[in-house]
Amino acid sequence: MSQPYQVVQAYDRTLIKEIPADDAAALEAKVDAAFRLIKNRDGALKPYHRSAILIRAAALLGERLDTFARLIAQEGGKPLTDARIEAIRAVDGLRNAAEEIRNFAGREIPMGLTPASDGRWAFTTREPIGVVAAISAFNHPLNLIVHQVAPAVAVGCPVIVKPAAPTPLSCLELAALLCEAGLPEPWCQTLVTEDNALSERLATDPRIAFLSFIGSARVGWYLRSKLAPGTRCALEHGGAAPVMVDRSARLDRIIEPIVKGGYYHAGQVCVSTQRIFVHNDIKAEFVERLASRVRALRVGDPLLADTEVGPLILPREATRVSNWIDEAVAAGAQLIGGRRRSETTLEPAILVEPAADAKVSQLEIFGPVTCVYGFEKLDDAIEIANSLPFAFQASVFSTDIEPALRAAQRLDASAVMVNDHTAFRTDWMPFAGRRQSGYGIGGIRPTMNEMSEEKMIVFRQAD
């Protein structure tokens, strides 16, 4: 093991815990152990065993919601109320994976459709793809791990999960909980490290059959280019989620969901509402109402029950977001809020009409900032919204069906929410970025498909 490192609270940078870090020797031992498991077919965990483990793990997690919520708030900075919701979702994710095992099966392939295929019977089965490497992100330090680990357990893949360096504790606790629920340790191992080279070695090891990566597009696409031949992957990155606000939208009903979508977890969400396009007829009133609600958001210590917006994960991230805001203001944008309160905490900000080439208009902010742009024609706003090289979720607010359908059909997004914010998600729905925003499909069932392979078996009837 290498030297230990310190895990600190996102809000005030005080020490939570000092934990041992893994080194190259530990990584080799973990990959070797996982690979030996997948090669030993006689030792594979039976479906009923995997289901029972996941059900038991869900029950144990349900009993410890408050403990996990506090840990999420401490290491990740997510307000306690939202952290508890994350823990509840993690319970549901484990249950979803257990339930999917009942329906996880192959299919019959029709035979006898040609003379050459006559007298044969064919069907498919699904097999675990092999060892899974899961590299995760900080912003949902429990639920993201569940979405990577639970499908692997469900299909029978050994998994080595590397949590984000600032937020390893939730991952370690979940791995221990799975072990307590009956999962033998080599089936779910953790790699705790701040060494990016060691993470890359995990992802690119030829014994890895599948890489599940959640994080920055730059790192994800780089790792994909370095994978060993035959290794499959799924990448989940981010975007700059657009919202269309039609002139028919009811302002008294849309401000709250837009604020939730834009400032939930201080905007550190891959589908956080970022670019808000508002019809010019209602733009002034929209900005006024949005500003009033944003100013009222309670900002501060995520461990306080009434906090709505907590810190950014690292001081350098708060500095980056502040610099982007300053750049937009220097180029002519109107700023509402945005003052830096501490090393990691920013007041929620609104930028009105930032320049088209400003970073806040072109890149994922990943901070508590939304941008408002006026438009006359919906199609023009949609064209601007679709102009970036990434696309994930989008939304449209309208009481008229025609503009709602037009936006839903024309927005370049994997999912379009009508009269709801861009960050809406349930744990059983497919979840995927397009273009530079991702590769493959997330969600419990889609990930189970990704982590398994279909094998066809053909019987020939004797003459």
Give the sheet arrangement for strand 452-460, strand by strand.
Answer: 108-109, 120-128, 452-460
The residues annotated with a catalytic role in the active site are 236, 270
Closest to 398 in 3D by CA, of 239, 243, 241: 243
Which DSSP string do the residues of 415-428 spell out, in sequence order?
EEEESS-TT---TT
**Residue 442 in 3-state DSSP?**
strand
Closest to 72 in 3D by CA, of 3, 141, 157, 166: 141
In DSSP terms, 123 is beta-bridged to 108, 457
Which DSSP string do the residues of 109-131 spell out, in sequence order?
EP--SSGGGTTEEEEEEEEE-SE
**Residue 409 in 3-state DSSP?**
helix
Residue 411 near residue 385, CB atoms below 8 Å: yes
* Alpha-carbon torsion, ordered 205, 211, 216, 219, to 10 deg: 20
Give the helix ranges, DSSP H, for 272-413: 280-295, 315-330, 359-362, 378-385, 401-410
**Distance of alpha carbon 91 from alpha carbon 145, whole angstroms:** 12
Closest to 304 in 3D by CA, of 248, 361, 345, 262: 345
